[in-house]
Homo-oligomer: A and B are copies of this chain.
Amino acid sequence: MEILVVNPNRVDGCTRLIHTAARAAAAPGTNVTTLAPRRGPVELTGQCEVLFSAVGVLELIAETPADAVVMAGFGEPGKEAAQELTAAPVLDITECGPLLARTLGARYTIVTSTAAAVPIVEDRLRALRLDAACAGVLASGQSVPDLVDHRQAATKAVVDTVRRAGTEVVVLGCGGMAGLAALVAAATGKIVVDGVSAAIKLAESLGALGLTHARATRPPVTGWPFDD
């Protein structure tokens, strides 16, 4: 099975962390390709960049054949659009982390990157109808570059934040936290779910069951912004 993992930012170190976590989660017969968009912002420093990155993410998905697609941005839009571009199932880590966490506890806490991301994640969970089981969203205060370039300090900040969670189950709510779950779980005694790993397993699950989303008949996609 070929899984395309798309990192919405273009921070190389982040793409590598996500790839490592995705491969570690993948079953023997699963091949993982992790890509960042060819165009768009390097870091998602604001809501403009979040929207711009979606164009590059969709471009990648449209041109890369795969049996399943994992979108590795936490709280980013684009899943519904991606489902128009591919017949393969599309897994968003914003959904997959919380969904797998729900099998382990009735409520979970999400630990995300910066304080600015907290209301964005809260609102996105509400849009996704996943808010009822979320006991809170906490910020570790670490941006994606922090998480990539200052791994040790960032990990400590994540560990400290996870300790403050009021629930046993915690979801790591940032692609840049990929690979930290086991370490943070060991340090805190919490049950820690990483969205990228969760999405890989859910992609394999859907693949094995032959399930994918509904595809309405639609005219060819037009209007890519860079075509004009």
Contact = CB atoms under 8 A, between A and B. Distances in A.
Interface stretch (A11-19, A47-55, A154-162): A47-55
A192 to B, nearest CB: 8
Given A39-B228, A123-B106, A210 B222 contact: no
A70 to B, nearest CB: 11
Interface stretch (A145-153, A172-180, A213-221): A213-221
A38 B39 CA distance: 19
Nearest to A101: B211
A104 interface: yes
A48 B103 contact: no
A49 B169 contact: no
Given A42-B222, A99-B102, A226-B226, A25 B129 contact: no
A196 to B, nearest CB: 11
B81 A48 contact: yes
A87 B27 CA distance: 23
Contacts of A40: 223, 225, 228
A73 interface: no
A138 interface: no
A81 B104 CA distance: 13
Contacts of A89: 103-104
Contact of A213 (B104, B198, B204): B104
Nearest to A92: B103
Nearest to A208: B201
A51 B48 contact: no
Given A100-B202, A100-B211, A226-B226, 15 more contacts: A27-B208, A39-B226, A40-B228, A47-B83, A48-B221, A96-B103, A100-B206, A104-B206, A104-B211, A107-B129, A126-B129, A130-B133, A132-B132, A198-B209, A226-B228
Interface of A: 25, 27, 38-42, 45-56, 58, 77-78, 80-81, 83-85, 89, 91, 95-96, 99-100, 102-107, 116, 119, 123-124, 126-133, 168-169, 182, 190-191, 193, 197-198, 201-202, 204-206, 208-214, 216, 218-219, 221-228
Task: Kindly list the 4 A-B residue pairs having the minimum CB-CB distance in the complex, ordered from nearest.
Answer: A41-B223, A39-B228, A201-B205, A127-B127
